[in-house]
Chains A and B, each alone.
Chain A
Amino acid sequence: MDSEEVPLDLLHIELVAHFVSQKDKIDEALSTLEAIGFNTGYRLIERLTRDSLKFKDELDLMKFICKDFWVSVFRKQIDNLRTNHQGVYVLQDNTFKFLNKISDGKQYLEFAPRYMAFTCGLLRGTLANLGIVSVVTADVTSMPSVKFQVKVQRV
């Protein structure tokens, strides 16, 4: 791993630890982490797409998320993108950065949600600033693999 990725990794660990110990309920902690991710994604994407072309359609945008965005943020591409063409997208990352050093299998699986909340928010914030209102959830059955589900909310 590149040395410049280390501070973010450690900050993320602290972020999780801080809010999990701070908030009375785990749900509250998760939604706070999600909110922090949202704010971060919302701001970050403005800088990432400053010079980029307009997206043709939603799928084009999702491809951008899976390739360029993921590479910028996590230094790798999403391994698999699926969609039902009705606003549901499943993004699969087989070696997700924030889970990669926690476990390789089912150990500590119960702690996975807290390490996913920030990134779900990050994704949702990013999409929000690109004009897509969505709900993002993460599904982890075996670390460090994760499936993000993006449900686009149609107005």
Chain B
Amino acid sequence: MSRVGGRSSTDPKKVSGELFSLTYGSLVAQILKDYENVDDVNKQLEKMGYNIGVRLIEDFLARTNSGKCQDFREVSEKVQSAFKMFLNISPTVTSWSATSDEFSLIFDTNPLAEFVELPDHCYNLRYANILAGALRGALEMVHIEIACWFIQDTLKGDNFTELRVKFIRKIEDTIPPGDD
């Protein structure tokens, strides 16, 4: 793929991922400046993620032509393929609860945190909280209410990043969407 002059050999796919991580990093840094409380930052990131997820699901459904999921295990597979599709990472689905209503997504690395180091005073910052929000927003649009949260994070010295996803309830058609 070398070009005449050979100036740039960068792969556009790789760059779009890096651009995403770097943009997100600048965003988090700015929000940290704007809010004094780290918990508020976490909330904002989750909220932005939610808004993204609400839109992202449409793109996912349009691309994949996938139908309704029959059970939560199928949901986990779809979530896995969405991560592959949009962020080019393949989290492992594991640690199912006995009742199959809770699972974990294991990321070997934190997909957003490729270039990140957390300063000490940000210990409570859930850096990748936007992912949790996106997942919640996306699934809400297909009538699945979930809760999800990080239980391990490479940025905090853990060996891998683990996102726990818990099924809350199926949102019925007749009920207006829950307040957010």
Residues of A within 8 A of B (CB): 2-8, 10-15, 17-19, 22, 32, 35-37, 39-40, 43-44, 47-49, 51-53, 64, 68, 71-73, 75, 118
Q: Write the nearest CB–CB distance from A60 to chain B, whole angstroms.
A: 10
Q: A10-B52, A10-B55 are in contact. Are A4 and B88 (CB under 8 A)?
A: yes
> Considering the complex, which residues of chain B in the window 8-32 have a beta carbon less than 8 Å from any beta carbon of chain A?
8-10, 12-13, 15-20, 22-27, 29-31
Contact present for B19 and A73 (CB under 8 Å): yes
Once bound together, how far apart are the Cα atoms of A47 and B8, in whole Å? 11
Task: Give the 9 A-B residue pairs with the shortest CB-CB distance, closest first.
Answer: A39-B26, A68-B8, A72-B15, A36-B26, A10-B52, A14-B48, A8-B20, A3-B85, A40-B22
A37: chain B residues at CB < 8 Å are: 26
Q: A3-B85, A10-B52, A14-B51 are in contact. Are A48 and B15 (CB under 8 A)?
A: yes
Does more than half of chain B's interface fall in helix, strand or loop, or is it mixed?
A: helix
Chain B contact residues (Cβ within 8 angstroms of A): what range?
35 or more
Does B7 reach chain A (CB closer than 8 Å)?
Answer: yes
Once bound together, how far apart are the Cα atoms of A36 and B13, in whole Å? 22
Residue from B8, B13, B15, B17 having most chain A Cβ neighbours under 10 A? B8
B115: chain A residues at CB < 8 Å are: 43
User: Which among B13, B44, B48 is the interface contact of A4 at CB below 8 angstroms?
Assistant: B13
Q: Write the nearest CB–CB distance from B111 to chain A, whole angstroms.
A: 10
B25: chain A residues at CB < 8 Å are: 39-40, 43
Nearest CB to that of A32 among chain B residues? Answer: B30
Given contacts A7-B56, A12-B23, A48-B15, 19 further A-B contacts (CB under 8 A): A2-B16, A3-B59, A3-B86, A4-B13, A4-B86, A4-B88, A6-B56, A7-B87, A32-B30, A36-B26, A40-B25, A40-B26, A43-B115, A47-B18, A48-B8, A53-B7, A72-B15, A73-B16, A118-B23
Q: A40-B22, A44-B22 are in contact. Are A6 and B8 (CB under 8 A)?
A: no
Q: Write the nearest CB–CB distance from B17 to chain A, whole angstroms.
A: 7
Contact present for B12 and A72 (CB under 8 Å): yes
Contact present for A7 and B12 (CB under 8 Å): no
